[in-house]
Amino acid sequence: MALSLQSPPSPTLSASIHQKGRWKTLAAGFSVSPLPAVNFTLRRSIPRIYASSSSFSSPSSSSLEAGENNELDAVSAFSEIVPDTVVFDDFERFPPTAATVSSALLLGICGLPDTIFRNAVDMALADSSCAGLETTESRLSCFFNKAMVNVGGDLVKLVPGRVSTEVDARLAYDTNAILRKVHDLLRLYNEIDVPHDRLLFKIPATWQGIEAARLLESEGIQTHLTFVYSFAQAAAAAQAGASVIQIFVGRLRDWARNHSGDTEIEAAIKSGEDPGLALVRRSYNYIHKYGYKSKLMAAAVRNKQDLFSLLGVDYVIAPLKVLQSLKDSPAISDDEKYSFVRKLSPETATHYNFTNKELVKWDQLSLASAMGPASVELLSAGVEGYANQAKRVEELFGKIWPPPNV
């Protein structure tokens, strides 16, 4: 792939990324429609990291088929494997399937003025409709929305899957505010002709966020619920019809190592299971046994053992070091720990048993009662972290606006 990180001389995005790039973008992967025509090519010797077509057809029970000569090829027959971070130097090794545009991404862009995305931010800060707003708060919010959408529009041209747009986490406990924000962002995407089916909107899985997802999905707007750390959240998100539900495997494990008193985590440990992996398994089986449309994403996967334990889950976000290890390892292995056997499937989900307490129709009260200290603390920390990043973006925009030569 011949790509360049230098900003193009015109507002048109250049799809060239240079090997000297050092900057990272956060990614989350969701395969749907085919890649629009853009000016770059892929060497076919470099494997794309896909599980299957957008229809998510069921892979075979064994991945050791012709042409699958390394572990990355093998595991990709079961789940869509997505790089946790997309480093521009690594586009050739691990071409991204999809992306997330976030406040963290905007901060990174502003810190590296020669990236191909800097023009998208500068154009947002030069927007006359935002500049003409009366209050500083409304002006900075407008710039923030424009920058997110401009970068998201550029990412749509670079990846074949969907682009997830982070919804301001400061709104995480206000359903109506989330709805207004998503509608504002979608209106801006319409102005730059980005199809709705290429978009997801990433919302924290508070009760208010889950309710917002339900209402948005009823309008045909695809949602991505994040910071899911309990079965109650996952089940409520599935009942709401969220398109993607994201569970952070490693963060639950980290919490369990340093805390106690969460009955859901203690039940998993008592049965000999890792709490993060156990939550993914229960959530996957619930979604598939009862016919919910949601796709499940396992994030914060720390090692190959985590990944092999979740083969069959819809999406796995894996660190680059894990992906490189998979790519460097032959698919045929005598190590049973790393055997290529599908662990999760719609068929096996039908045999999983749930208690009556788990099969309730979730509402705000039942969700609050069911969430243990781990999910409460981790959800709160995630929301706070995202909110602080959004605030930092607006503060930075206030310092650099208006941009030079505008």
> What pLDDT does 335 receive?
53
For the residues 176-191, what does the mean pLDDT come to? 98
Least confident span in 38-42, 194-198, 341-345, 365-369: 38-42
Q: What is the predicted pLDDT for the residue at 393?
A: 97
Confidence band of 166 (pLDDT split at 50, 70, 90): very high
Give the pair of three-digit tokens for residue 141.
């919010």
Q: Which DSSP category does 189 fall into?
A: H
- For strand 223-228 and strand 199-204, is the pairing parallel, antiparallel, or unpaired? parallel
CB neighbour burial string for 76-105, b if at least 16 within 10 angstroms, e if fewer:
bbbbbbbbbebebbbbeebbbbbbbbbbbb
**Annotated active-site residue in 202, 270, 304, 357:** 202
Q: CA nearest 206: which of 243, 237, 167, 165?
A: 237
Confidence of residue 243 (pLDDT cuts 50, 70, 90): very high
- Which of 360, 240, 248 shows the shortest CA–CA distance to 293? 240
Q: Is the pLDDT of residue 143 over 80?
A: yes
For the ranges 159-163, 168-172, 195-199, 219-223, the lowest mean pLDDT is seen at 159-163
Residue 133 predicted with pLDDT over 90: yes
Tell me how far apart the alpha carbons of residues 47 and 45 are, in angstroms, rounded to a whole number: 6
Q: Decide if 401 contacts 143 (C-beta within 8 A).
A: yes
**Angle, helix 249-258 to helix 263-270, in steps of 10 degrees:** 90
Domains detected in the chain: 71-400 (3.20.20.70)
Buried b (16+ CB within 10 A) or exposed e, 212-248: bbbbbbeeebbbbbbbbbbbbbbbbbbbbbbbbbbbb
Q: How far apart are CA 368 and CA 362, in angstroms?
A: 10
Per-residue pLDDT at 178: 98
Tell me how far apart the terminal alpha carbons of the chain are, to the nearest angstrom: 34
Rg value, the chain, Cα: 21
> Is 202 a catalytic site residue?
yes
Report the alpha-carbon distance of residue 176 to residue 317 in Å, rounded. Answer: 30
The Cα 50–Cα 59 span in angstroms is: 12
Tell me the two tokens of residue 125: 């800060």
Instruction: Answer yes or no: are the C-beta atoms of 59 and 342 closer than 8 Å.
Output: yes
Confidence of residue 82 (pLDDT cuts 50, 70, 90): confident
CB 224 within 8 A of CB 244: yes
Higher pLDDT, 55 or 395: 395
pLDDT score, position 47: 35
Residue that has been written with the tokens 């068929």 in this structure: 347
What does the alpha-carbon distance between residue 169 and residue 36 come to, in Å, rounded to a whole number?
31
DSSP category for residue 226: E
- The 10s digit of each residue's pLDDT in 199-211 is 999 999 999 999 9
Q: What is the mean pLDDT of the chain?
A: 83
Q: How far is residue 120's CA from residue 207's CA, in Å, rounded to a whole number?
A: 33
Is the confidence at residue 6, as pLDDT, over 50? no
Per-residue confidence (pLDDT) for residue 92, from 0 to 100: 67
Burial of 270 (0-12, 13-18, 19+ CB in 10 A): exposed
Query: Does the global pTM surpass 0.85?
Result: no
Instruction: Print burial letters for 11-34: b (CB count within 10 Å at least 16), e (below 16).
Output: eebbbebeeebebbbbbbbbbbee
- Given a contact cutoff of 8 angstroms between Cβ atoms, the answer to whether 345 and 51 are in contact is no
Q: Is the pLDDT of residue 77 over 80?
A: yes
Cis check for the bond before 195: say yes or no (omega within 30 of 0).
no
> pLDDT band for position 406 (50/70/90)?
low
The pLDDT value given to residue 91: 61
Q: What is the helix, strand, coil percentage profile of the chain, to 5?
A: 45, 10, 40
